[in-house]
Structure 1
């Protein structure tokens, strides 16, 4: 049985209000606990985009965006761990290979949590991970620079590039094993709590049954490019949370109201373009709205720090946490197109 859209949003708000917000500063300093992951699994939100017949909700994109905003604004580290999950679900939903029937239902129902190990594909012409046919399966060698949710995820989708310039996506267990060795957790200025590591691949072998998708690298690049030209819901969620801090301060109400008008305007424009039926059109306009969203995010988090005064320098300050999370979102999922457009707007 699928949950109605309003029930899904209500679940996200309840999860945020009852668990994520009260513990966000502690999580920021100590790491996302397994109990948070279990709560997310029980929430029913991990199957938002999955088909109903596999236990998902097949929710409209507007519901997905709203729940992402809520979770990111409540605890960006927990949001970042769970948001990785939705990409493997989408890949498996679109796959026609046997792995779909093996993994899509447990991922859609929250029995399993997935992560992604393929953002390195955007490093072309560098090829950080190679995939080679071997013994009726695939051998992977190289380095995954960023893998989030280590120790929290059950499975991951890994990708490598073949000598024929084809991308091979596979599902693997998210654990140390022969041919796969994680680094110690990376110490980052923000979202260290999300348990990000790098992965050293030295002959990791996976059977053909683990393959989710194979396609030419050029086709992957063509499909991937428009995605990151759209503004992320997390940017709006963290900005909203920062404006709540400003509005609750002694002198901040008018500032918060003015910035929220700007935020709502950019959100409407960005989501309207994201819903355009042709994803490769209006790239420049999408990038312009994305950079405007960054502008409001920076203003909102800076205002929260200013409103808090010297207290904002305490690592336990909500304003300071949101400011660091905002800094992280400026580069999260950054591509060459996004970086050039953002730098040009700052000039």
Structure 2
């Protein structure tokens, strides 16, 4: 870990070891508590890469990745609520619109937590949420299939597509209100604790000053693509947590040693691509290392289950929780492109992600 001495990495490790990991099995069954969110708000981790003038740490991307690894490996549900916060902060930091001065400081300093409601934009040509100009603002209609952190978040970043094929991003309060109705909390095979709902939008009106970005849908797709073809730090976090379990078992130490070397290599190569100066280049390589990381995470968490024997079937088993979290991470943020590549990889059919010099 190359950023271990950074104060935010130290803080994340302290939070993970002292609070998140010891309670992770209970949280998995009962839900992320408000006390976890308050601890995160007070940790400085909500503004890892945000501008210093707004209270952020302005830390390198490597620090953000490592803190994500640490938190995801300790309690993936809590990490998943937190990770929704970073895109709104990034968008606010890059705009000069009035909403920046209203929200960026409070979000960076931990006074507010934001969720996101825009993954549905990736469903094109389906348009689950429409945005229409109305009364010096925007009206949103449709269904947000997934919204994480309900009752934990203070605000949400909502997106809809206009008739001009423009994606409109705007902030709304994360609460039931005229034009916005949440579903009951979803019961999921993994990360139910992250409090995910769907949102029914029927005439939700937001003022023009709530808008943070309007951009052509094709331009959004170009910028968004590398986010889903890069390997997620959470994948490495869960995989390393499984290896830590294996290393505590005398029968499994050699398995852990072998997997750790391969995981270290995948992490190094994947993060080098994260840092490539042109984010939308080398997509096939990004996908290849993403799939290699998925393979290693799946193998590590399966090995932890096997090493645990029958005890792994208990809901209080850390190995089982990690295996279910790994299952979730296989499809988190999935696009049609990633799904096709992953299925081809699993089937053994040759394709771009199996090319020489790439992970296959």
**Are 2:219 and 1:226 aligned?**
no
Aligned equivalent of 2:330: 330
**Are 2:193 and 1:193 aligned?**
yes
Query: Matches of 1:115 and 1:172 in 2, distance apart?
Result: 10
1:26-68 residue CA offsets vs partner (Å, 9 max, x unmatched):
0000000000000000000000121000110111001001000
Query: Matches of 1:227 and 1:64 in 2, distance apart?
Result: 14
Aligned equivalent of 2:153: 153
Superposition pairs for residues 165-244 of structure 1, below 5 Å? 165-244=165-244
Query: Matches of 2:339 and 2:275 in 1, distance apart?
Result: 23
Q: Quote how far apart the aligned CAs of 1:5 are.
A: 6.4
Q: Quote how far apart the aligned CAs of 1:209 are.
A: 0.7
SS at match of 1:225: helix
**Are 2:88 and 1:114 aligned?**
no
- State whether residues 5 and 59 of structure 1, in contact with CA within 8 Å, keep that contact through their aligned partners in structure 2: no
- State whether residues 162 and 168 of structure 1, in contact with CA within 8 Å, keep that contact through their aligned partners in structure 2: yes
Q: Quote how far apart the aligned CAs of 1:274 are.
A: 1.2
Aligned equivalent of 1:53: 53
Superposition pairs for residues 130-145 of structure 1, below 5 Å? 130-145=130-145
Q: Quote how far apart the aligned CAs of 1:337 are.
A: 1.3
Query: Matches of 2:226 and 2:69 in 1, distance apart?
Result: 20
Q: Quote how far apart the aligned CAs of 1:250 are.
A: 3.1
Aligned equivalent of 1:340: 340
Query: Matches of 2:5 and 2:53 in 1, distance apart?
Result: 17
- State whether residues 180 and 204 of structure 1, in contact with CA within 8 Å, keep that contact through their aligned partners in structure 2: yes
Q: Quote how far apart the aligned CAs of 1:6 are.
A: 1.2
SS at match of 1:252: helix
Query: Matches of 1:79 and 1:287 in 2, distance apart?
Result: 23
Figure out how many residues of one structure are paired with residues of the other and give that number.
344
1:67-116 residue CA offsets vs partner (Å, 9 max, x unmatched):
00000000000000000000100010011100000000000000100000
CA RMSD of aligned residues (A): 0.9
Aligned equivalent of 2:355: none
Query: Matches of 2:5 and 2:168 in 1, distance apart?
Result: 34
Query: Matches of 1:281 and 1:53 in 2, distance apart?
Result: 32
SS at match of 2:176: coil
**Are 2:316 and 1:316 aligned?**
yes
Aligned equivalent of 1:282: 282
Any unmatched runs of 5+ in structure 2?
A: 348-360
Aligned equivalent of 1:248: 248
Are residues 141 and 5 of structure 1, via their aligned partners in 2, closer, same or farther at CA, if it must alter by over 3 Å?
farther
Aligned equivalent of 1:17: 17
Aligned equivalent of 2:38: 38
Query: Matches of 2:61 and 2:54 in 1, distance apart?
Result: 18
**Are 2:276 and 1:258 aligned?**
no
Query: Matches of 2:199 and 2:336 in 1, distance apart?
Result: 23
Query: Matches of 2:308 and 2:258 in 1, distance apart?
Result: 18
SS at match of 2:212: strand
Are residues 237 and 23 of structure 1, via their aligned partners in 2, closer, same or farther at CA, if it must alter by over 3 Å?
same
SS at match of 2:231: coil
Aligned equivalent of 2:350: none
1:197-231 residue CA offsets vs partner (Å, 9 max, x unmatched):
00000000010010000011111111111221100
Query: Matches of 1:50 and 1:283 in 2, distance apart?
Result: 26
Any unmatched runs of 5+ in structure 1?
A: none
Moved over 2 A (4+): none
SS at match of 1:251: helix
